[in-house]
Chain A
Amino acid sequence: MPKSLFIDPNELGKKGAIAFADIPVNQYQKSVTEAKKEDGFKNKDLVRIYRDMTVLREFESMLNQIKTQGEYAGLKTSYPGPAHLSLGQESAAVGQAYLLDQDDIMFGSHRSHGEILAKSLSSIEKLSDKQLMDIMENFLEGRILRTLEKVFTPKSTKELAIYFLLYGTLTEIFARENGFHMGMGGSMHAFFLPFGVYPNNAIVGGSGPVSIGGALFKKCNNKKGLVVCNIGDGSLGCGPVWEAFNFSAMDQFSTLWPEGKQGGLPIVFNIFNNGYGMGGQTRGETMAYDFLARIGSGITPSQMHAERVWGLNPLAVIDAYKRKREILNQNGGPILLDVVTYRHSGHSTSDQNAYRAKEEIAAWQEIDPCLVFRKDLVDAGCAKDAEFDAIWEETRERMAKICQWASDEKISPYVDFANDNRVVERIMFTNEKKDAMEDAKSVTLIPKEESARVKQIAGKERSAFKDGKPVSKMKTYNMRDAIFEPILDKFYEDPTLITYGEDVRDWGGAFAVYRGLDEVLDHSRLFNSPISEAAIVGSAVGYGMAGGRSVVELMYCDFIGRAGDEIFNQMSKWQAMSAGILNMPMVLRVSVGSKYGAQHSQDWTALCAHIPGLKVCFPATPYEAKGMMQEALDGQDPVVFFESQRLYDMGEMFEPGGVPMEKYSLPFGFVNQVRHGEDITILTIGATLYKAAEAADILKEKYNLTADIINLCSLTPLDYTKIVASVKKTGRVVLASDASTRGSFLNDIARNITELCFTDLDAPPVVVGAKNWITPPFEFDEFFFPQASWILDAIHENVLPLPGHETTVSYTPVEVMRQAKEGV
């Protein structure tokens, strides 16, 4: 797309071949003695590596015993949640964490207890006592620390920190209030930000797109450290993971991004290759790569610096990270590591191992790193066998105490839902505004007033009418301008704000909302993404977790399906699953199309409004758009911002005085009453507002009936106050939008109105939606989308007969029954 990049036919037509470099496989072959000599490992470092492995092993053994026998260390206890254990994978996790520090952050999978503990133990080792105490004092206002102080006296701060880590993790798994996030995440969503441990993720491959957002944050905001994306070999069957690979390696980082921000993202895709995706054997059954590391060569010319690492040897993994960090320091990311490991336990504790032979498990248990590495250390004279026995004893003692405290409801109570059933409601949204996510200076290319677009907007009429006459299209301040203005302002206010999506830069967005923005921003703040909806949304989620604000765009609403997990499971849930520790300052713009047929014309507000944790709005006038966008950008909650392609040209037709020049915001929950009447209430979502206005004109002219028209520009949250007042007044209500009628969000509103206004209703609320068909070609729009006449039909047939009205669409019970019965 950029004109600076020339697609040269001569170049493309040349004869040649693509050369691949060898991909290293298990190249690390040093003995412990050699490692000590060549890489400077001290005995105590090596023993500590083993100590950490015992912690991981014993933690998972504990969960295994609790789940399978209801008992650990003589204590009867249990919990109903999941346990995807990584028994056998300890060396890989500890090796990975060994060199990582607090600035390095990692994201995980459903099987990430080990990684969380290893990274945290590594951080505890590297942080000073004061830093550790600050972290423990400040985390959840010191709640976990206070509990621990009551039950034991630690020998040292580091000892206390280890207990803090194990206790916070186990209580999280046990769904206790003392968990790292009040038990709201649980086993598959545990994390601890102060040690650089970002969320693990219950969706296989879910961390793929999310973690590139963390890396994007580091790159765009000049932050130290690298990002590790821990996913399993099973996730390589997931499209979003491949999207993430590509996104992290886009050419533009080198060709178009500004000085200092060049090169691929600082990320290591660490695939813990344990051979199975649940029971499906990846190599030989479900995948095609033979060697997992091979796939790096399909992504970048650098082959993602991919290599296979023998994860059963922690020193091999440490070696790999040491070398890969160097590459990342040279902006050489992304990295792909195929870390071979093996889980001794099943996928979960209900796994009967029907898919693998006992002999196979036995063969791997023979080379159990907890046995082999210990022997290697003893053989190399790092420590005597007895010392390792002592380490084991200490670990088991720790775990027994932790298990006892975490199981005891007096020490570790559950969140008191019985007496406080709004506990989750309080952590769903922050509802707090923050003008800028960081204090740094916002980098822009020119002063705002020099922007050609700003000057153009300044010359426009803020209203669709001037002196009672329509203003020409070109001179009208329209929806595009209304969406653009607050975004532009925010770019000058918040240094972390970035925006991306398909064709947002040179093209200015497919519908020209961002026209002129490329004059103001370099590529690190405004860039074209690949056609990777999952990566677009998922990366914005990770960017938000890391502390940055973004506005990302899916060109058409219909593409929501391509980012289903990222919108419905990631964007929406992390604030509450983190008990409010994470914020999600992201705005997802989606545009409801027209003219382009069945896969480009759908209003999917209902899908988004259905999902708890999302704020959803659909402004239909420039006044609403500017105010809602400002509100969305100022907040820290995830917003799905619907727009309509029918309305981009629309000037302000309702707001007296037009769209204000100055900054203002319209709160979530806001509904916009654009007409005032007495006889009927018409509620609208999206472009149907204008059909409703047309219908209201006919009602007035032909039937002497006046209508309240209320446009529901905020869908979640939604304040019913004005709606109820109107319906109580008129007793009649029709709801209209371009969404297909079945399952339309309007049905939810209609149901609530029925309940809230039951005795005031003169007729049941009628929903006027699009047909439950595919969208036919634009030529047949009037047969598919609600028209003004349909609104009259609905009123005539279900609410108030309109003398002489001839219906075009039937809203009779017979027709309702027929459509439902036929599923159309």
Chain B
Amino acid sequence: MDFNHIILFLYAAILAGVPLLYGTLGEIIIEKSGNLNLGVEGMMYLGAISSFLAAYTFESAFLAIIAGFLAGVLGALIYAFLTVSLKANQNVTGLTLTVFGTGVANFIGERLKMTSEAGTVIVSDSVIRSLLPMKLGALSDIPVIGKLVFNHSILTYLSILFAILMSLYLNRSRIGLNLRAIGENPSAADAMGIDVNRYKYLHILFGGGLCGLGGVYIALVTCVGNWQPNIIGGQGWIAVALVIFASWKPLRAVFGSLIFGALSMLRLYMPKSIIDIPASIFNMLPFAVTCLVLVISSIRMKRENQQPAACGVNYFREER
């Protein structure tokens, strides 16, 4: 195992981490508003199929990204309407959204493939080229850093940008403070004169859009614009675990998605001659680490590392 191999491993870890980061950021902002949305996987599926359709039909990478975002928003709208307006159970609604999104995406994808001549549907090369990892001139030629930092898809940089902006928004802005208040204690926030439902709606929708972008990344970058059945394959669920790992902090989510990406790539890049343990152990690692984080954070009981207190509980104004 040489040094170059380690660089390739780290690079693969980053690529694997990006869709997780989108899902995690989306879920963090949703949970900060006091709603637990288990539909991350479903919204990623919706984002994936919509961006794929847009890229396939309009041959535009920009429209594909917009379509993926809007599809995630639409999925989240169903969730928001059911849980915020109709006060339906959040867990059940989220799970239903996952089943719904998975079904819709696979259904459309299957129809598309079966009706095409060659039995495969592929987005045109020019669209994909503009989304795939690209070199940034001389910067990309710097050894090590050039490959690891300056050789990525535009969606990768966008995800980091979202994480930084979200962190500033939550911790440094008035609206962000209001949002956190809603997540901790909606009735107090309501008494303060904050429009709880409007906040919840807007942030759930935005979070859904971010999850949708995760789907865009998988459909157009990971799978290079080839539609495949079961394309998301459970990555939305890993994102839900990552939210806990990141203790609801956007910047820690960047770090966490890198770790999860690296852990999932470890078994593929670790030569058997160095460590020879069953693949199942490697597969288990991210979740074992999440359990560990849960245990440690509950022992330390630092208030800011906990789940928002009102997360998962619907807010009834009449019950104040």
- The judgment on whether A and B are partners is no
Question: What residues of chain B have their CB less than 8 Å away from a CB belonging to chain A?
Answer: none
